[in-house]
Chain A
Amino acid sequence: MNASTAPGPVIDADFLRRWLATAAAVVDREADRLTELDSPIGDADHGSNMRRGFTAAHAAVELEPPQTPGGVLTLVGSQLISTVGGAAGPLYGTLLRRAGKALGDGTPATPEEFRDALRTGVEAVGKLGGAVPGDKTMLDALVPAVEALSFALDAGAGLADGLAAARIAADEGAAATVPLQARKGRASYLGPRSIGHQDPGATSAALLVAALADTAAEAVA
Protein backbone atom coordinates (compact mmCIF):
# COMPACT_ATOMS: atom_id res chain seq x y z
CA MET A 1 0.00 0.00 0.00
CA ASN A 2 1.37 3.38 -0.91
CA ALA A 3 -1.59 5.39 0.36
CA SER A 4 -0.85 8.64 2.10
CA THR A 5 0.06 8.17 5.74
CA ALA A 6 -2.49 10.69 7.00
CA PRO A 7 -5.64 8.97 8.19
CA GLY A 8 -8.49 9.55 5.75
CA PRO A 9 -11.65 11.30 6.84
CA VAL A 10 -14.28 8.98 8.26
CA ILE A 11 -17.29 8.98 5.93
CA ASP A 12 -20.06 8.94 8.48
CA ALA A 13 -23.27 10.93 8.95
CA ASP A 14 -21.34 13.74 10.59
CA PHE A 15 -18.98 14.04 7.62
CA LEU A 16 -21.91 14.45 5.23
CA ARG A 17 -23.62 16.92 7.56
CA ARG A 18 -20.48 19.03 7.42
CA TRP A 19 -20.48 18.70 3.62
CA LEU A 20 -24.10 19.83 3.53
CA ALA A 21 -23.40 22.87 5.72
CA THR A 22 -20.48 23.82 3.46
CA ALA A 23 -22.49 23.19 0.30
CA ALA A 24 -25.45 25.24 1.56
CA ALA A 25 -23.12 28.14 2.39
CA VAL A 26 -21.37 27.96 -1.00
CA VAL A 27 -24.65 27.76 -2.89
CA ASP A 28 -25.95 30.74 -0.93
CA ARG A 29 -22.80 32.72 -1.68
CA GLU A 30 -22.75 31.79 -5.37
CA ALA A 31 -26.50 31.94 -6.00
CA ASP A 32 -26.35 35.23 -7.86
CA ARG A 33 -23.60 33.95 -10.15
CA LEU A 34 -25.57 30.76 -10.88
CA THR A 35 -28.63 32.81 -11.75
CA GLU A 36 -26.52 35.08 -13.96
CA LEU A 37 -25.21 32.05 -15.84
CA ASP A 38 -28.81 30.83 -16.16
CA SER A 39 -30.03 34.13 -17.59
CA PRO A 40 -28.78 33.97 -21.20
CA ILE A 41 -29.56 30.27 -21.74
CA GLY A 42 -32.04 29.32 -19.02
CA ASP A 43 -34.88 30.87 -17.09
CA ALA A 44 -32.72 32.80 -14.61
CA ASP A 45 -33.71 30.84 -11.54
CA HIS A 46 -30.95 28.27 -10.96
CA GLY A 47 -29.28 30.20 -8.14
CA SER A 48 -32.44 30.99 -6.24
CA ASN A 49 -33.75 27.45 -6.76
CA MET A 50 -30.53 25.89 -5.48
CA ARG A 51 -30.41 28.27 -2.53
CA ARG A 52 -33.99 27.41 -1.56
CA GLY A 53 -33.30 23.67 -1.91
CA PHE A 54 -30.04 23.53 0.03
CA THR A 55 -31.33 25.84 2.76
CA ALA A 56 -34.32 23.54 3.25
CA ALA A 57 -32.21 20.38 3.08
CA HIS A 58 -29.74 21.75 5.62
CA ALA A 59 -32.55 22.72 7.99
CA ALA A 60 -34.20 19.29 7.66
CA VAL A 61 -30.98 17.40 8.36
CA GLU A 62 -30.13 19.55 11.37
CA LEU A 63 -33.67 19.18 12.73
CA GLU A 64 -33.50 15.38 12.73
CA PRO A 65 -29.98 14.27 11.86
CA PRO A 66 -29.93 10.82 10.26
CA GLN A 67 -27.55 8.33 11.88
CA THR A 68 -25.91 6.99 8.71
CA PRO A 69 -24.18 8.63 5.73
CA GLY A 70 -26.74 6.98 3.44
CA GLY A 71 -29.51 8.43 5.54
CA VAL A 72 -28.13 11.97 5.19
CA LEU A 73 -27.84 11.70 1.40
CA THR A 74 -31.33 10.21 1.06
CA LEU A 75 -32.91 12.94 3.16
CA VAL A 76 -31.09 15.71 1.31
CA GLY A 77 -32.18 14.20 -2.02
CA SER A 78 -35.82 14.09 -1.01
CA GLN A 79 -35.67 17.65 0.28
CA LEU A 80 -34.19 18.88 -3.00
CA ILE A 81 -36.91 17.17 -5.02
CA SER A 82 -39.63 18.80 -2.97
CA THR A 83 -38.17 22.29 -2.64
CA VAL A 84 -35.92 23.26 -5.59
CA GLY A 85 -38.77 23.80 -8.07
CA GLY A 86 -36.64 23.46 -11.22
CA ALA A 87 -35.03 20.54 -13.05
CA ALA A 88 -32.05 20.63 -10.69
CA GLY A 89 -34.36 19.35 -7.92
CA PRO A 90 -35.21 15.94 -9.36
CA LEU A 91 -31.74 15.62 -10.92
CA TYR A 92 -29.64 16.34 -7.81
CA GLY A 93 -32.35 14.71 -5.70
CA THR A 94 -32.11 11.49 -7.67
CA LEU A 95 -28.30 11.58 -7.55
CA LEU A 96 -28.28 11.84 -3.76
CA ARG A 97 -31.17 9.47 -3.09
CA ARG A 98 -29.64 6.77 -5.28
CA ALA A 99 -26.24 7.31 -3.73
CA GLY A 100 -27.80 7.17 -0.27
CA LYS A 101 -29.59 3.94 -1.04
CA ALA A 102 -26.44 2.46 -2.50
CA LEU A 103 -24.67 3.17 0.79
CA GLY A 104 -27.44 1.36 2.65
CA ASP A 105 -27.58 1.38 6.45
CA GLY A 106 -23.86 0.90 7.03
CA THR A 107 -21.62 3.42 8.75
CA PRO A 108 -19.01 4.56 8.16
CA ALA A 109 -18.58 4.04 4.41
CA THR A 110 -15.21 3.22 2.92
CA PRO A 111 -13.88 5.60 0.23
CA GLU A 112 -14.53 2.89 -2.36
CA GLU A 113 -18.12 2.41 -1.17
CA PHE A 114 -18.61 6.17 -1.28
CA ARG A 115 -17.15 6.38 -4.77
CA ASP A 116 -19.37 3.53 -5.99
CA ALA A 117 -22.43 5.18 -4.46
CA LEU A 118 -21.65 8.49 -6.16
CA ARG A 119 -21.19 6.67 -9.45
CA THR A 120 -24.56 4.95 -9.02
CA GLY A 121 -26.13 8.36 -8.34
CA VAL A 122 -24.52 10.03 -11.34
CA GLU A 123 -25.59 7.18 -13.60
CA ALA A 124 -29.16 7.61 -12.34
CA VAL A 125 -29.00 11.30 -13.28
CA GLY A 126 -28.04 10.36 -16.83
CA LYS A 127 -30.87 7.87 -17.02
CA LEU A 128 -33.45 10.28 -15.59
CA GLY A 129 -32.60 13.18 -17.86
CA GLY A 130 -31.52 11.14 -20.87
CA ALA A 131 -28.32 13.18 -21.13
CA VAL A 132 -24.75 12.10 -21.81
CA PRO A 133 -21.48 13.99 -21.32
CA GLY A 134 -21.16 16.67 -23.98
CA ASP A 135 -24.83 17.69 -23.83
CA LYS A 136 -23.91 20.78 -21.75
CA THR A 137 -25.43 19.60 -18.49
CA MET A 138 -24.35 18.88 -14.90
CA LEU A 139 -23.05 15.53 -16.15
CA ASP A 140 -20.17 17.37 -17.83
CA ALA A 141 -18.85 18.13 -14.33
CA LEU A 142 -20.14 15.08 -12.45
CA VAL A 143 -18.88 12.31 -14.72
CA PRO A 144 -15.25 13.55 -14.84
CA ALA A 145 -15.37 14.14 -11.08
CA VAL A 146 -16.36 10.53 -10.34
CA GLU A 147 -13.79 9.28 -12.84
CA ALA A 148 -11.03 11.35 -11.25
CA LEU A 149 -11.98 10.17 -7.74
CA SER A 150 -12.03 6.60 -8.93
CA PHE A 151 -8.69 6.89 -10.69
CA ALA A 152 -7.07 8.43 -7.61
CA LEU A 153 -8.45 5.80 -5.22
CA ASP A 154 -7.35 3.00 -7.54
CA ALA A 155 -3.88 4.54 -7.57
CA GLY A 156 -3.75 4.35 -3.78
CA ALA A 157 -4.73 7.91 -2.86
CA GLY A 158 -6.83 8.64 0.20
CA LEU A 159 -10.28 10.20 0.06
CA ALA A 160 -9.09 13.77 0.57
CA ASP A 161 -6.61 13.56 -2.31
CA GLY A 162 -9.17 11.74 -4.44
CA LEU A 163 -11.76 14.45 -3.88
CA ALA A 164 -9.17 17.15 -4.55
CA ALA A 165 -8.64 15.53 -7.96
CA ALA A 166 -12.41 15.27 -8.43
CA ARG A 167 -12.76 18.96 -7.72
CA ILE A 168 -10.25 19.88 -10.43
CA ALA A 169 -11.96 17.56 -12.89
CA ALA A 170 -15.38 19.02 -12.10
CA ASP A 171 -14.11 22.59 -12.53
CA GLU A 172 -12.48 21.70 -15.83
CA GLY A 173 -15.61 19.89 -16.95
CA ALA A 174 -17.78 22.89 -16.12
CA ALA A 175 -15.42 25.26 -17.94
CA ALA A 176 -15.43 22.93 -20.94
CA THR A 177 -19.20 23.39 -21.37
CA VAL A 178 -18.65 26.94 -22.69
CA PRO A 179 -18.14 25.97 -26.36
CA LEU A 180 -20.78 23.24 -26.27
CA GLN A 181 -24.24 23.49 -27.78
CA ALA A 182 -26.96 22.53 -25.31
CA ARG A 183 -28.89 19.40 -26.18
CA LYS A 184 -31.04 19.13 -23.05
CA GLY A 185 -33.42 21.37 -21.18
CA ARG A 186 -34.58 24.87 -21.96
CA ALA A 187 -31.14 25.91 -23.25
CA SER A 188 -31.48 23.39 -26.08
CA TYR A 189 -34.24 25.54 -27.63
CA LEU A 190 -31.57 28.17 -28.28
CA GLY A 191 -29.61 25.85 -30.57
CA PRO A 192 -26.27 27.38 -31.58
CA ARG A 193 -27.00 30.48 -29.48
CA SER A 194 -26.37 28.36 -26.37
CA ILE A 195 -22.69 28.20 -27.40
CA GLY A 196 -20.36 30.54 -25.51
CA HIS A 197 -22.04 30.25 -22.12
CA GLN A 198 -20.97 28.06 -19.21
CA ASP A 199 -23.69 25.65 -18.18
CA PRO A 200 -25.27 26.64 -14.84
CA GLY A 201 -25.91 23.01 -13.85
CA ALA A 202 -22.32 21.97 -14.49
CA THR A 203 -21.23 25.03 -12.51
CA SER A 204 -23.38 24.19 -9.47
CA ALA A 205 -22.24 20.56 -9.70
CA ALA A 206 -18.62 21.72 -9.51
CA LEU A 207 -19.48 23.79 -6.42
CA LEU A 208 -20.97 20.74 -4.70
CA VAL A 209 -17.91 18.64 -5.52
CA ALA A 210 -15.66 21.45 -4.25
CA ALA A 211 -17.62 21.50 -0.99
CA LEU A 212 -17.00 17.77 -0.68
CA ALA A 213 -13.26 18.25 -1.29
CA ASP A 214 -13.12 21.05 1.28
CA THR A 215 -14.94 18.93 3.86
CA ALA A 216 -12.51 16.06 3.37
CA ALA A 217 -9.47 18.39 3.46
CA GLU A 218 -10.64 19.95 6.73
CA ALA A 219 -11.19 16.51 8.24
CA VAL A 220 -7.57 15.47 7.68
CA ALA A 221 -6.07 18.85 8.51
Chain B
Amino acid sequence: MSDGLVGIVLVSHSAAVAEAVGLLATGLAGGGAVARVAPAGGTPDGELGTSSDLIAAAAHSVDQGAGVAVLVDLGSAVLTVKAMLAEEDELPPDTRLVDAPFVEGAVAAVVTASAGADLAAVVAAAEEAYTYRKV
Protein backbone atom coordinates (compact mmCIF):
# COMPACT_ATOMS: atom_id res chain seq x y z
CA MET B 1 0.00 0.00 0.00
CA SER B 2 1.04 3.55 -0.63
CA ASP B 3 0.89 6.52 1.68
CA GLY B 4 0.08 8.76 -1.26
CA LEU B 5 -3.30 10.22 -2.07
CA VAL B 6 -5.53 9.14 -4.93
CA GLY B 7 -4.78 11.23 -8.02
CA ILE B 8 -7.47 12.92 -10.09
CA VAL B 9 -7.43 13.47 -13.87
CA LEU B 10 -9.94 15.79 -15.52
CA VAL B 11 -10.56 15.12 -19.22
CA SER B 12 -12.54 17.71 -21.15
CA HIS B 13 -12.83 18.59 -24.84
CA SER B 14 -11.68 22.04 -23.76
CA ALA B 15 -8.31 22.76 -22.15
CA ALA B 16 -9.84 25.82 -20.45
CA VAL B 17 -12.67 23.77 -18.94
CA ALA B 18 -10.36 21.04 -17.62
CA GLU B 19 -8.01 23.61 -16.12
CA ALA B 20 -10.77 25.69 -14.55
CA VAL B 21 -12.62 22.75 -13.06
CA GLY B 22 -9.34 21.59 -11.54
CA LEU B 23 -8.83 25.03 -9.96
CA LEU B 24 -12.41 25.06 -8.70
CA ALA B 25 -12.14 21.60 -7.16
CA THR B 26 -8.77 22.20 -5.48
CA GLY B 27 -10.00 25.59 -4.25
CA LEU B 28 -13.01 23.96 -2.63
CA ALA B 29 -10.86 21.21 -1.10
CA GLY B 30 -9.71 23.73 1.49
CA GLY B 31 -6.48 23.85 3.49
CA GLY B 32 -4.19 21.00 4.32
CA ALA B 33 -3.03 18.34 1.94
CA VAL B 34 -4.73 18.51 -1.44
CA ALA B 35 -4.77 15.57 -3.81
CA ARG B 36 -2.89 15.88 -7.05
CA VAL B 37 -5.15 17.03 -9.86
CA ALA B 38 -4.11 17.15 -13.50
CA PRO B 39 -6.18 18.54 -16.39
CA ALA B 40 -6.09 16.82 -19.79
CA GLY B 41 -8.11 19.16 -21.96
CA GLY B 42 -8.35 19.52 -25.71
CA THR B 43 -5.75 18.39 -28.21
CA PRO B 44 -1.99 19.05 -28.03
CA ASP B 45 -2.34 21.83 -30.62
CA GLY B 46 -4.94 23.64 -28.56
CA GLU B 47 -8.06 22.56 -30.43
CA LEU B 48 -11.25 21.18 -28.93
CA GLY B 49 -11.03 17.40 -28.69
CA THR B 50 -9.42 14.57 -26.78
CA SER B 51 -5.80 13.44 -26.67
CA SER B 52 -4.71 10.07 -25.35
CA ASP B 53 -1.17 11.43 -25.00
CA LEU B 54 -2.32 14.26 -22.72
CA ILE B 55 -4.48 11.85 -20.72
CA ALA B 56 -1.62 9.39 -20.23
CA ALA B 57 0.77 12.15 -19.18
CA ALA B 58 -1.78 13.60 -16.74
CA ALA B 59 -2.51 10.20 -15.20
CA HIS B 60 1.15 9.40 -14.66
CA SER B 61 1.77 12.85 -13.19
CA VAL B 62 -0.82 12.36 -10.42
CA ASP B 63 -0.14 8.68 -9.71
CA GLN B 64 1.31 8.22 -6.22
CA GLY B 65 0.52 4.53 -6.03
CA ALA B 66 -2.93 4.92 -4.45
CA GLY B 67 -4.81 4.85 -7.74
CA VAL B 68 -6.07 7.42 -10.21
CA ALA B 69 -9.68 8.53 -10.73
CA VAL B 70 -10.43 9.89 -14.22
CA LEU B 71 -13.40 12.20 -14.73
CA VAL B 72 -14.51 12.97 -18.27
CA ASP B 73 -16.98 15.26 -19.98
CA LEU B 74 -18.54 13.47 -22.97
CA GLY B 75 -18.20 11.70 -26.30
CA SER B 76 -14.62 11.14 -27.35
CA ALA B 77 -13.36 11.88 -23.82
CA VAL B 78 -15.34 8.89 -22.52
CA LEU B 79 -14.42 6.65 -25.46
CA THR B 80 -10.73 7.53 -25.41
CA VAL B 81 -10.31 6.70 -21.72
CA LYS B 82 -12.23 3.45 -22.20
CA ALA B 83 -10.05 2.52 -25.17
CA MET B 84 -6.93 3.26 -23.13
CA LEU B 85 -8.16 1.20 -20.17
CA ALA B 86 -8.65 -1.74 -22.53
CA GLU B 87 -4.86 -1.84 -22.94
CA GLU B 88 -2.76 -2.90 -20.01
CA ASP B 89 0.06 -0.41 -20.21
CA GLU B 90 -1.37 2.96 -21.22
CA LEU B 91 -2.55 4.19 -17.84
CA PRO B 92 -1.16 3.57 -14.34
CA PRO B 93 -2.37 0.45 -12.52
CA ASP B 94 -5.55 1.12 -10.53
CA THR B 95 -6.85 3.79 -12.88
CA ARG B 96 -10.65 4.06 -12.88
CA LEU B 97 -13.00 5.86 -15.24
CA VAL B 98 -15.59 7.52 -13.00
CA ASP B 99 -19.25 7.68 -14.02
CA ALA B 100 -20.01 11.13 -12.63
CA PRO B 101 -21.06 14.65 -13.63
CA PHE B 102 -17.89 16.51 -14.56
CA VAL B 103 -17.92 19.55 -12.28
CA GLU B 104 -19.75 18.17 -9.28
CA GLY B 105 -17.93 14.86 -9.55
CA ALA B 106 -14.56 16.57 -9.73
CA VAL B 107 -15.25 18.56 -6.57
CA ALA B 108 -16.42 15.46 -4.72
CA ALA B 109 -13.44 13.43 -5.92
CA VAL B 110 -10.83 16.03 -5.03
CA VAL B 111 -12.33 16.75 -1.61
CA THR B 112 -12.56 13.03 -0.79
CA ALA B 113 -9.12 12.19 -2.14
CA SER B 114 -7.59 15.10 -0.24
CA ALA B 115 -9.08 13.68 2.97
CA GLY B 116 -7.09 10.51 2.35
CA ALA B 117 -9.90 8.26 1.14
CA ASP B 118 -9.00 5.22 -0.94
CA LEU B 119 -9.80 4.90 -4.64
CA ALA B 120 -13.12 3.10 -4.13
CA ALA B 121 -14.32 5.83 -1.75
CA VAL B 122 -13.22 8.59 -4.10
CA VAL B 123 -15.05 6.96 -7.01
CA ALA B 124 -18.17 6.43 -4.90
CA ALA B 125 -18.19 10.05 -3.74
CA ALA B 126 -17.90 11.33 -7.29
CA GLU B 127 -20.61 8.99 -8.58
CA GLU B 128 -22.91 10.04 -5.76
CA ALA B 129 -22.85 13.56 -7.19
CA TYR B 130 -25.43 12.32 -9.70
CA THR B 131 -28.00 12.01 -6.90
CA TYR B 132 -27.81 15.68 -5.95
CA ARG B 133 -30.92 17.27 -7.44
CA LYS B 134 -31.04 20.99 -8.09
CA VAL B 135 -34.76 21.42 -8.51
User: Which residues in A have some Cβ–Cβ distance to B below 8 Å?
Assistant: 43, 45, 49, 81-82, 84-91, 93-94, 97, 124, 128-129, 185-186
Please give, as numbers and ranges, the residues of chain A lying within 8 Å of B75 by CB-CB distance.
86-87, 185-186
Q: Would you call B52 and A81 a contact (CB within 8 A)?
A: yes
Q: Would you call A93 and B83 a contact (CB within 8 A)?
A: yes
Q: Is B1 an interface residue (CB 8 A)?
A: no
Please pick, from A85, A94, A185, the residue contacting B49 in the complex, using a CB distance under 8 A: A85
Q: Is B84 an interface residue (CB 8 A)?
A: yes
Which bracket fits the contact residues of B? Answer: 10 to 19
Given A128-B79, A129-B79, residue A81 in contact with residue B49 (CB < 8 A): no
Please give, as numbers and ranges, the residues of chain B lying within 8 Å of A88 by CB-CB distance.
76
Q: Is B14 an interface residue (CB 8 A)?
A: no
7 A/B residue pairs, CB under 8 Å, sorted by A: A43-B48, A49-B49, A82-B53, A90-B79, A97-B83, A124-B86, A128-B79
- Closest B residue by C-beta to A185: B75
- Closest A residue by C-beta to B56: A82
Please give, as numbers and ranges, the residues of chain B lying within 8 Å of A128 by CB-CB distance.
79, 82-83, 86
Please give, as numbers and ranges, the residues of chain B lying within 8 Å of A89 by CB-CB distance.
50, 52, 76, 79-80
Q: Is B112 an interface residue (CB 8 A)?
A: no
Q: Is B47 an interface residue (CB 8 A)?
A: yes
Closest CB of chain A to B97's CB: distance in Å? Answer: 12
A45 to B45, CA, bound (A): 15
Closest CB of chain A to B89's CB: distance in Å? Answer: 11
Q: Would you call A85 and B53 a contact (CB within 8 A)?
A: no
Given A49-B49, A82-B53, residue A94 in contact with residue B86 (CB < 8 A): yes
Please pick, from B50, B82, B83, B87, the residue contacting A85 in the complex, using a CB distance under 8 A: B50
